[in-house]
Chains A and B, each alone.
Chain A
Amino acid sequence: MPQTAAILLKDLRFGWRKNLPEVLHIADLEVPRGERIFIGGASGSGKSTLLALLAGVNLPTQGEVKVLGETINRLSGARRDHFRSDHIGFVFQLFNLIPYLSVLENVTLPCRFSHLRRQKAIEAGGDLQTEAMRLLTHLDMAHKSLIHRPVTELSVGQQQRVATARALIGAPEIIIADEPTSALDSDMRQAFLRLLFQECDDTGSTLLFVSHDRQLASLFERHIALDEINQADQEGQ
């Protein structure tokens, strides 16, 4: 059975409202499984919109979004939410953590909502805590002094690593990272990316890395400039 692509966009169009101009129009984009892809673009180029479409939070006005072979824009809202929690891990730019949960609780959070990822995590580590600790160890975050600290007292770099462990737990097929390094200084950025790549390789996850920082693009197998593939008329913006 041929492996379906991780992500396949066909004639994707999106506008916020019917009478407003389209903000996104991508004729064709395919991301094979296991690939690390960099999506660059200035702010306003439609990065967030694209991510919302991939996550199934927004629906395209036209075209289709296939994730892991599933046309998610045809699923019901609840099914999309399910699909997202089962198959996609997210890392955001800043403040990724729930302030009232501990480090470990933050890492295992997706397992509260996704049965599949919970099972996978337990299969991988024996139990949730062990698997979370394993991921944190890989990300150099397993010191006792760190994991017992309130997450609000962690540095930005530490918070991003906890968020990465959370995105990775239960080995989702796709990791979407939205500017995860923009708050880090350049040394940290390199180190963080190395860890992220390594973990994605270990789990075989596809990494979709969105950033305006083109310096990072060279580190990826493939990079796309969103402004170039987005055919929507931007004049209306």
Chain B
Amino acid sequence: MAILSLALKSLFNRRYTAGLILISIALSVSLLLAVERLRVESRNSFAHTISGTDLVVGARSGSINLLLYSIFRIGDATNNISWKSYKKFAEHDLVKWTIPISLGDSHKGYRVMGTNQDYFRYYKYGNKNSLAFNQGQPFEQVYQAVLGQEVARELGYQIGEKIIIAHGAGKTSFTLHDDKPFEVVGILEPTGTPVDRTVHVPLEGIEAIHKDWIGGRQVAGLKISAEEALEKNLTPKAITAFLVGLKSKIATFRVQREINDYRKEPLLAILPGVALQQLWDMMGVAENALLVVTILVVFVGLIGMLTVMLAGLNERRREMAILRSVGARPGHILLLVTGESLLLSLIGIALGLLLLYSGLLLGQPVIESRYGLHLPIGFPSMREWIILGLVGTSSLIIGLIPGYRAYRYSLSDGMSMRI
């Protein structure tokens, strides 16, 4: 203890240099922790893009492909599912609910998704959160739409706005369904998931705007007005995919096998959690690269400390000699110099934590509202403690280098004043 108080005083005596080292360690530690927390939370939020859904079903293709187009609205389906097949499984004994999804159109770059009201009832994301309305309510009629939060914010839409849906998924589509505008009746709360970037319309709406279309283009001469379309049978012939909630989770694999083995149509049922994990693992390389870079930043901070400690050592040989003469043993010298490095890094770590938490306090509301990512301001997780422990241990090991040199000096110099 006596030695540590000496170390503290010696550091205070060099407070400007020590302060600079502290800043670099604190910054690097808070950066490392922030990256780690962002990583964990974005992984979490990613894994919770969809929850409460037991199976995602689409035409047979790859599971990641299915996940990408049905949940993330990225890419396109290879094929559709017939309404008949959908109905068959929707009415299955073990199935509690289904949400049909029909994709293919867009509005100013945002995907339009046809579905039904069960979507607002059963769709869950995050920690089993249901969709909530910021304004308005679910659609009830054919030409009504519910907007995700980002769509409404970016395009400045309010309730009552009329929007035109474009054919196809491109940002600038030249073929517009401009004869059948949709009225915005609801705007959802932010979710931090692709729901925010989606325009939701009834399946019947999708059917209605394509009534006078055959094979992907409007048939010349065949014009069916919005009102006329309402008269016709608007039950879709096909949908893109559907989500399944089961009465009992135990039945998941059984129903999955049943769908995958369905003879009348090649279907694919996936467990969203597993597919999300696979997808995340594909992106994990970038994530790990980021972590490695921040670890290196911490390392650079510690090397800076090493440099300063080693550079100062030669000037301190006299101090070591005095300490030896008043009874300090070489081990004390080792402890003093190593203790200084350790103190520096411990204080640096504490400051880093302080920095992290003040950053979180300031940044949390902004990140939550802009990116839908909730960063909890809780105690450091086990993993974070381990990271901090590793930083502390590395600084101890690094601190042993000048400590050992001082030890060697004090053995060879003894009490003789070499300077």
Contacts and interface: CB of A to CB of B under 8 A. Distances in A.
Contacts of B415: 51-52, 55, 57, 90, 92
B316 to A, nearest CB: 10
A42 interface: no
Interface string A141-175: 00000000000000000000000001000000000
Contacts of A84: 325, 327
Interface string B326-341: 1111111000000000
Interface residues of A, number: 31
Given A97-B322, A100-B9, A100-B13, A114 B417 contact: no
Interface string B1-42: 010001001101110000000000000000000000000000
A57 B414 contact: yes
A98 interface: yes
Contact of A99 (B319, B331, B414): B319
Interface string A18-57: 0000000000000000000000000000001001100101
B325 A90 contact: yes
A101 interface: yes
A122 interface: no
A95 B9 CA distance: 18
Given A98-B319, A100-B10, A113 B327 contact: yes
A184 interface: no
A103 to B, nearest CB: 13
Given A98-B319, A99-B319, A58 B414 contact: yes
A20 to B, nearest CB: 16
B319 to A, nearest CB: 6
Interface string B408-419: 000000111100
Given A82-B327, A90-B325, 9 more contacts: A81-B328, A81-B329, A92-B415, A92-B417, A98-B323, A100-B12, A100-B13, A110-B326, A166-B326
Interface of B: 2, 6, 9-10, 12-14, 318-319, 322-332, 414-417
Interface of A: 48, 51-52, 55, 57-58, 77-78, 81-82, 84-86, 90, 92-101, 105, 109-110, 112-114, 166
Closest 10 CB pairs of A and B: A85-B327, A113-B327, A100-B13, A57-B414, A90-B325, A81-B329, A112-B2, A110-B326, A100-B9, A109-B326
